[in-house]
Structure 1
C-alpha cells in the first residue's frame, strides 16, 4: 500500500495528503463564478469530485438542486463533509472517481459537473466522460472544472505550441470556454502553478469522420514528434502519401487545423 505523504499543514485537524493533490480553494469569488457559469434548478443533478473540506460543496447545496453526488477518495474528508453538511440531497461516495463505472449516473442524467480537480486526474477523467457520454447518451449537461493553466490552454488550442491530439480529440466532442485564471494564493496550501476555470458542454452535432478510430490513430502519429514534419512522422506507416503535395507533407501537425487534417486523412487512408 502506497504511503501517504503529508503536505505542510493540516486543516480541521486532518492531514493534507500530497498523494491526492489536495490544495483547497479559499476564495468565494471563484466558487461564485463557477456556479454562475452553469444553469441549475430544482431538477438538476450535480456531481463534485474531491470535495476536500466542502468549500465548494457548501455553495452548491445553497442552490435549488435535486441531488449532489460527491466522489471523495480520502475517507477523512468524506466523513468530515458528511458530518458538517447534513443534507438529504447529498450522497457521499468514498471512492476514486476513475474506478467508478459511470452507469450509476444513468438514472438521473443529465448531470452537471462542478469540481476543483486534482490535476493528475484531469485528462483521464475527461476521456472517461467522453466515453460514457457516447455510451449512455446525454450523460452530461455541462460543467465547470478547475484545472492547471497549462492544461486548460492545451485543451482550447487550435494551432501552434501545445496544440495536438488532446486539443483535437477533446474539441471534437465538447465545446470549451476559458473562464477565470486563478492565482496560487487562492488555495491552501498554494500550488506552484496558476489554475484556470474551464467551462465545457457536449457538442450537439458531432462531425462524422470516416473510419474515426483510424483517424485518431493517424492524429497521434502526426503529432508523435511535434518538431518533425508530417512526412517524417507518417512514413513508417502504411499510408498512401502519393496524392499529397510536398508542401503539405513538409508541414508540421501543429500547422494544420482539424478540417485540413480530416481532408488529409481522406486522401491517405487505405
Structure 2
C-alpha cells in the first residue's frame, strides 16, 4: 500500500497547478491543504474497513485519498466538473479507483445514497440545509464529521443562556448530539476564507424523538423571532394569532367539534401559556424539554402549528 500512497501523493495539485485552476469562492471552494488537519478529521471519524463514506465537496481530493486508504468506498459529491476531472485523474490507475464513486451535481437537489458516515469540508453557504438534509436521511448514518464556519459551529453546540444559542441550536440538538472537535485557522485553506473554521461531530439520535418535526420547527420559529422577548409577547403577533386560529378551526372541523360564536383565540393561547408556565419564559433560556412540553400543551388543546 505505501507504493500506492506515493503514487497518489505525487499527483497532488500537479494538474491544478499546470492548468491554473481558479477556485470559485461563490461555490465555497476553499481547499483544505494542511495534511495534519485532514489526518485528524479522518481519525476522529473512526473509519472502519467496511464503511461507505459520503464526502461533499471533495475539491481536488486531499481528504478523499486519505479516506480511500481506510474505507470500503467513498462517494464524493461534487458540483464543479473541473474538480471532478481532477479527482478522477488523481485516482486513475491506482488501487483506489474502484473504491471511489463520484456523483456530479448539487447535493441539496439530489437524493442521498446509503452511507455509514459523512466526512467533509463542506461549502459554508449550504451548511444549514445540508445538516438538516443529512439528519432527515434514512436509514440512519453513524456520524458526520464536518468542517464548518466557526460561528456556525458554535451556534450548533450552544446551550440555553449562551449568547449564540438560537433556533439552529435547539433544532439540531433535538435530532442529534453535536460536539466541537477542533478549531482550524483560515491559513489551512487555499485560498484562505475570510472566516475561521471549526470541525464538529454530529451523531443522529436513533431513534429520533417522537415528535412532529414540522410542528416543532414552526413553534421554535415563533419563539426565536425575538429570542429575548417573552413567549407571551411572541404569541401576540398578528400573523401568529391568525395562523393558530386557522389551524384550530381546521382541527375542530376534522374532529366534528363546534367552535363557539364567542371563541377567543387569544384567550386560549394565553391559557395554554399559563398552564405550561411559559408566558414569562424567553426562548434564549429554554431547553429542548421546555419546548417539547409547550408543544404538547398546545396540541392537547387542539392547537397545531402546521
TM-score normalised by L of structure 2:
0.76
Give the structure 1 partner of residue 125 of structure 2. Answer: 120
Secondary structure at 1:14's aligned position in 2?
coil
Q: Is the 8 A contact 1:240 1:267 kept in 2?
A: no
Count how many residue pairs are aligned between Structure 1 and Structure 2: 250
Q: Is the 8 A contact 1:221 1:234 kept in 2?
A: yes
- Distance in 2, matches of 1:121 and 1:215, equals 22
Give the structure 2 partner of residue 159 of structure 1. Answer: 160
- Distance in 2, matches of 1:264 and 1:42, equals 45
Contiguous gaps of at least 5 residues in structure 2: 1-14, 245-267
Secondary structure at 2:226's aligned position in 1?
coil
Q: CA deviation at 1:215?
A: 2.9
Q: CA deviation at 1:88?
A: 0.9
Per-residue CA distance 1:22-70 (angstroms, 9 max, x = gap): 111111111111111123222110111111111111211221x221111
Q: CA deviation at 1:204?
A: 2.1
Q: CA deviation at 1:212?
A: 4.5
Per-residue CA distance 1:71-128 (angstroms, 9 max, x = gap): 11111111011011121111112211112122xx2xxx44211110100011111111
- Distance in 2, matches of 1:143 and 1:264, equals 30
Give the structure 1 partner of residue 76 of structure 2. Answer: 70
Per-residue CA distance 1:218-238 (angstroms, 9 max, x = gap): 111011122322111112324
TM-score normalised by L of structure 1:
0.86
User: Which stretch of the first structure deviates more once superposed, 146-155 or 211-220?
Assistant: 211-220
Tell me which stretches of 4 or more aligned residues in structure 1 moved more than 3 Å: 243-248
Residue 272 (structure 2) pairs with residue 267 (structure 1): no
Q: Is the 8 A contact 2:235 2:269 kept in 1?
A: no
Candidates 282, 285, 293, aligned match of 1:252:
282
Q: CA deviation at 1:244?
A: 3.4
Please, what is the CA RMSD of the aligned residues?
2.0
- Distance in 2, matches of 1:99 and 1:206, equals 24
Q: Is the 8 A contact 2:16 2:86 kept in 1?
A: no
- Distance in 2, matches of 1:38 and 1:17, equals 28
Secondary structure at 1:145's aligned position in 2?
strand
Describe how 1:121-200 pairs up with structure 2 within 5 A.
Answer: 121-133=126-138, 137-138=139-140, 140-160=141-161, 161-200=163-202
Give the structure 1 partner of residue 86 of structure 2. Answer: 80
Would you tell me which structure has more helix in proportion to its own residues? 2
Would you tell me which structure has more strand in proportion to its own residues? 1
Secondary structure at 1:204's aligned position in 2?
coil
